[in-house]
């Protein structure tokens, strides 16, 4: 992802994850941006924490100085007859980058005409973060590393608190580095940067749409093949023209189609889902925690997919026959492999009672369901947090002995967009049994979602393993609730 897009994708991550945890004015604050603003409000702060801002301060160096140096190099390398037009485009892009930190017009031009230049940008930008941290520069931001944020959170706060003045000499050096390296590479490899197009080619700055279009042309010409799973999903849903919306929750791809009769289950099953749920025009395809990657790949593929309906070819009534052998019933005793403790407090039920077809049908795995009476989720055992879904309604855990948990709070709670949830952990955290993972508002979920049911699913069980309930009725968090047994 180009550095200029980081404010779109990673701002929530900065706020809650990056920068660690620090005590400010007697309060424990987590997340680099949160720490910076807590110190900003604390009159006793002598110098802002460079550790908290180590993912921010470097941006001012390469966004205000470095990338404009690259723009100047492209201007000087432009053909004489195209220099005026290229200069106007590059000047506006460079000024936008300097003022606001929006770098996409310049960076996508690297990515489009010369990925090597973007590789250089990645290395130089990464080193700028390191240099800023070494110089103890501590300037925070809200949007990106442009002059506006530098003025507000650097200059106005004073050099004593931020060391913002060191950005200037470091920036001058980076301006020279960008200029010299970009000019050398453009001339040596004859990159077609703006103003160097062949013949009467249009002089322009490229966009993400241009980059995706070029990828689509390469796919059509037989270069890199399109993502096979995305192609099959599109075909299984009746073609791009039949798909009106693509979304996902913690485990399932949620698509809305125009004509449900065009959906082909046999094609969709080739993509490796654990289940398919169809409700009118809504199609849910269960892939598990990796669904966010599936969704992203599908959206990228649909940018250039043919805008048409897809009808599967006739199979001439040749049906796949399944041979089922009748075997004697296994009368051997089941072996207990693991005792499970509840992450929830409430009334326990078998997973088949879950008010959701996919969970009740064990399409994502076996488990159990608890109707909560306390809005807190606790770690059921020592585990690593493998993922926290962006809307905070689901957590993935992997225990020290390799058991995979999916803790899903409520049914259809992805649509709440995080409202009613408070998360206490982040991806990669190690938690001890009994640690608080998250809190949720039971009443809010009851009023705004399909159900407040809390589901624990074990996504890594083998065909020989199942979950057997040990309790019924009320159960407290951390009490034994079920067992994983081997048949």
Q: Cite the active site residues.
A: 249, 408
Report whether 129 contacts 57 (CB < 8 A): yes
Report whether 138 contacts 54 (CB < 8 A): no
Closest to 112 (Cα-Cα) out of 55, 228, 197: 197
Q: Which two tokens stand for residue 364?
A: 């994502």
Q: How many CB atoms lie within 10 A of CB 151?
A: 12
């Amino acid at each position: 992802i180009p550095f200029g897009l980081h404010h779109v994708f990673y701002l929530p991550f900065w706020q809650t994850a990056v920068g660690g945890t620090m005590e400010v004015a007697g309060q424990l604050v987590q997340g680099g941006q949160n720490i910076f603003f807590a110190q900003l409000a604390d009159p006793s702060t002598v110098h802002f924490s460079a550790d908290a801002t180590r993912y921010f301060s470097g941006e001012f160096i390469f966004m205000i100085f470095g990338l404009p140096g690259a723009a100047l190099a492209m201007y000087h390398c432009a053909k004489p007859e195209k220099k005026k037009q290229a200069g106007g485009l590059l000047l506006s892009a460079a000024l936008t980058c300097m003022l606001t930190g929006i770098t996409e017009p310049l960076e996508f031009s690297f990515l489009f005409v010369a990925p090597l230049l973007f590789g250089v940008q990645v290395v130089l930008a990464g080193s700028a973060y390191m240099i800023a941290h070494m110089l103890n520069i501590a300037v925070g931001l809200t949007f990106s590393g442009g002059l506006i944020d530098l003025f507000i959170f650097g200059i106005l706060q004073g050099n004593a608190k931020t060391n913002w003045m060191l950005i200037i000499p470091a920036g001058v050096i980076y301006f020279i580095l960008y200029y010299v390296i970009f000019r050398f590479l453009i001339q040596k490899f004859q990159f077609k940067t703006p103003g160097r197009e062949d013949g009467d080619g249009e002089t322009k700055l490229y966009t993400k749409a241009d980059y995706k279009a070029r990828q689509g042309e390469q796919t059509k010409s037989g270069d890199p093949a399109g993502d096979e799973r995305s192609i099959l999903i599109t075909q299984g849903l009746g073609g791009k023209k039949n798909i009106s919306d693509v979304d996902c929750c913690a485990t399932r791809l949620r698509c809305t189609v125009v004509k449900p009769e065009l959906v082909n289950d046999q094609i969709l099953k080739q993509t490796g889902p654990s289940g398919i749920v169809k409700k009118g025009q809504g199609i849910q395809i269960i892939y598990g925690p990796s669904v966010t990657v599936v969704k992203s790949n599908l959206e990228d593929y649909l940018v250039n997919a043919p805008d048409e309906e897809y009808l599967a070819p006739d199979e001439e009534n040749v049906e796949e026959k399944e041979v089922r052998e009748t075997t004697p019933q296994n009368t051997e005793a089941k072996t207990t492999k693991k005792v499970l403790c509840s992450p929830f407090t409430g009334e326990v039920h078998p997973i088949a009672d879950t008010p959701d077809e996919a969970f009740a049908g064990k399409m994502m795995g076996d488990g159990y369901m608890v109707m909560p009476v306390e809005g807190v989720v606790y770690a059921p055992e020592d585990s690593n947090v493998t993922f926290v879904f962006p809307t905070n309604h689901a957590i993935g855990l992997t225990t020290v002995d390799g058991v995979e948990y999916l803790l899903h709070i409520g049914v259809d709670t992805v649509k709440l967009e995080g409202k009613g949830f408070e998360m206490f952990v982040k991806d990669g955290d190690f938690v001890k049994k009994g640690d608080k993972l998250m809190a949720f508002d039971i009443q809010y979920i009851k009023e705004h979602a399909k159900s407040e049911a809390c589901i624990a699913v074990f996504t890594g069980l083998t065909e020989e393993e199942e979950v057997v309930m040990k309790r019924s009725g009320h159960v407290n968090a951390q009490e034994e609730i079920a067992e994983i047994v081997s048949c």
